[in-house]
Homo-oligomer: A and B are copies of this chain.
Amino acid sequence: MKERTVKETAQRLLQCESAYILIHRSPDGDCIGSGYTLLYALRSLGKKARVLCSDAIPERYHFMLPEAETLEMFYPDLIVSVDVADEKLLGDSLLEEYEGRTDLCIDHHISNTGYAKELCLDGKAAAACQVVYEILREMPVTITKEIAACLYTGMATDTGCFMYDNVGPRTLHIIAELMEAHPDIPYASINRQMFVVKSMGRMKLDGILTNQLERYLDGACTLVCVTQKLMQEYGIDDAELEGIAGFPLQVEGTEVSVVMKEREDGAFRVSMRSADRVNVSAICQTLGGGGHVKAAGCTVSGTAEEAKRILLDAVTKGMAKA
């Protein structure tokens, strides 16, 4: 693996004729935003490009997609992944085809495993979209309205609407530049869709979860478990669960929040969030997962009680180090 600067990455993209852009499974605003930004940029230069994802793009993000997607087949001379820290996160269907084949990875996760032949990584960037923006500035590409909407959405979603400490002056100057160039993008409406609007089922689920919050370690760790049964009862799907990871973090005094989501196979997909001092990426790494310092995840097997014990043990050890 070779590390590449923003300039070298721009050159690499300019040299290709056609690209497949791989984004991670359970796609979020940042990987979709950075993936489609790249697609629009490459196409504006007369190149062929397609975004590939193991999962369907949730409807709330469809405004970022091209209005009429061309389905012409082509064989790419570049396979580039964006916002994919670990090859495993490509998901089964992409892995089957592209395992070990990523030429270039553009990312902002310090935990990036270096699976691609070339890596453009800025661990201080708030979002992959911020890295992609810097790369675009080194290319003869116009920041069109479509691109600006994608970049905004990625940076807004990965920062919790500019709330987290990954926001720096550079992030804000970029957002200001996007707004100056495209005052007609409905930024506030995008934010409302991303951060505020919930289905009635999700609202009711949140109400139920409030009564199921479990507090451990003198209240420093707040945990909640979303079972398959609950999801079926309130008729909500995975896409509607977005943002649930931060739910227990609302409780006063919480340092680490843990959300266990029961998968269909019975294992638990775990999301951890840190309020301030605790490095949840390190905690999740001890359980085979990873992520950012304040937002990470892992998967734990066993019964709910067994999984809880494993998680609380790891959190206790992790907090002792903080």
Contacts and interface: CB of A to CB of B under 8 A. Distances in A.
Contact of A210 (B162, B172, B203): B203
A169 B161 contact: no
A253 to B, nearest CB: 9
Interface string A182-215: 0000111101100111111001101110110100
B251 A189 contact: no
Nearest to A164: B188
A252 B176 contact: no
A163 interface: yes
Contacts of A204: 210-211
A276 interface: yes
Taking residues whose C-beta sits less than 8 angstroms from the other chain, chain A's interface range is: 35 or more
A180 interface: yes
A77 interface: no
A203 B167 contact: no
B250 A189 contact: no
A31 to B, nearest CB: 22
A176 B173 contact: yes
B173 A251 contact: no
B210 A252 contact: no
A235 to B, nearest CB: 13
Give the one of A179, A189, A213 with max B CB within 10 A. A179
A37 to B, nearest CB: 19
A270 B186 CA distance: 27
Contact of A252 (B164, B173, B186, B200): B200
Contact of A172 (B160, B161, B176, B249): B176
Contacts of A206: 206-207, 210
Contact of A195 (B163, B167, B191): B163
Given A161-B162, A169-B177, A196 B246 contact: yes
A275 interface: yes
30 contacts: A161-B161, A161-B162, A162-B162, A163-B191, A163-B195, A163-B196, A165-B186, A165-B187, A165-B188, A165-B189, A167-B179, A167-B188, A169-B176, A169-B179, A188-B276, A189-B276, A192-B275, A196-B250, A197-B252, A198-B251, A198-B252, A199-B252, A200-B251, A203-B210, A203-B213, A203-B251, A204-B211, A206-B210, A207-B207, A207-B210
The 5 A-B pairs of least Cβ separation, nearest first, read A165-B188, A207-B207, A169-B176, A172-B176, A207-B210
